[in-house]
Amino acid sequence: MPKTFTDQELVDGLLTKDERLTRAIVQFLYHQCQKPITRLVTRQHGDEDNANDLFQDVILIFLQNVWDGKYQLRSDTKVTTYIYGIAQTKWLRELELRKNRTARFERYDREQSMLPDTPTPEQLYLNAEEVESAWAVFNQLSDRCRELLTAFYRDHLTMEQIADELGLGTADNAKTRKYRCIQELKKLTNLWNDQPTKKPNTTGLSAI
């Protein structure tokens, strides 16, 4: 059981900036706040990893606010309530960002479906008639993009599997990275198509 602190002791202890005392205070706050924050996140489209990340973020914000003089003790608001409020605000903001990212992906997919003459990334990757030029373009991508697109289009891995294999954390992160890689691939393809003469470079063909 970690040492307990009153709200006044928490603030006074942090203001000393004593490393050992600060660690004890953080441990106490973890014991007090982790379960409520985990419930907040897991009940609203998150998991325990998200909750742990959020807890670390809000504790850092609280510490910095105390050290910067932005936090003042109030008799009607406990420190734990203040920290939970920060967590709630940050998590709602994260959910809004996720919603916007999802909408952006859906809008991108709709736009692609309206352009049947525009080759999709999968077609660029697999089209046998253009395999040489496709490889030349593909080999100009960053290593991470080549790994991700290969995992998705050739190996047919899910976003969750790709996130795990490439260390991207979550499926949403993998989707964001895939979107950026697709944009990079299209940009390189347009540059390639604009060249008056093209000599394919298949150096990396055997590596995939």
Residue 109 lies in a domain: no
Q: Are residues 198 and 144 in the same domain?
A: yes
Can you read off the two tokens belonging to residue 4? 């307990």
Residue 159 lies in a domain: yes
Q: Are residues 146 and 90 in the same domain?
A: no
Residue 163 lies in a domain: yes
User: Could you give the 3-state DSSP secondary structure of residue 162?
Assistant: helix
Host domain of residue 26: 7-96
Q: Are residues 82 and 127 in the same domain?
A: no
Q: Are residues 46 and 13 in the same domain?
A: yes
Can you read off the two tokens belonging to residue 9? 């002791």
What CATH number is associated with residue 199? 1.10.10
Residue 29 lies in a domain: yes
Alpha carbons 127 and 9: distance in angstroms, whole number: 67
Q: What is the mean pLDDT of each run of 10 residues along the chain (208 residues)?
A: 86 94 94 94 90 93 94 92 95 86 66 54 53 70 87 84 88 86 82 58 40
Residue 22 lies in a domain: yes
Q: Are residues 85 and 136 in the same domain?
A: no
Alpha carbons 81 and 39: distance in angstroms, whole number: 14
Assessment of whether the complete model's pTM goes beyond 0.75:
no
Residue 192 lies in a domain: yes
Number of domains in the chain: 2
Alpha carbons 1 and 51: distance in angstroms, whole number: 22
Can you read off the two tokens belonging to residue 107? 């809008």
Alpha carbons 147 and 159: distance in angstroms, whole number: 13
CB atoms within 10 A of CB 153: 17
Residue 2 lies in a domain: no
Q: Are residues 123 and 90 in the same domain?
A: no
Q: Are residues 82 and 145 in the same domain?
A: no
Task: Calculate the CA 179 to chain-centre distance.
Answer: 13
Q: Are residues 126 and 90 in the same domain?
A: no
Q: Last residue of a domain, which of 62, 96, 130?
A: 96
The neighbouring-strand residues paired with 77 are 74
From the number of C-beta atoms within 10 Å of its C-beta (0-12, 13-18, 19+), residue 202 rates as middle
Q: Which of 105, 176, 182 is nearest to 142 (CA)?
A: 182
Residue 112 lies in a domain: no
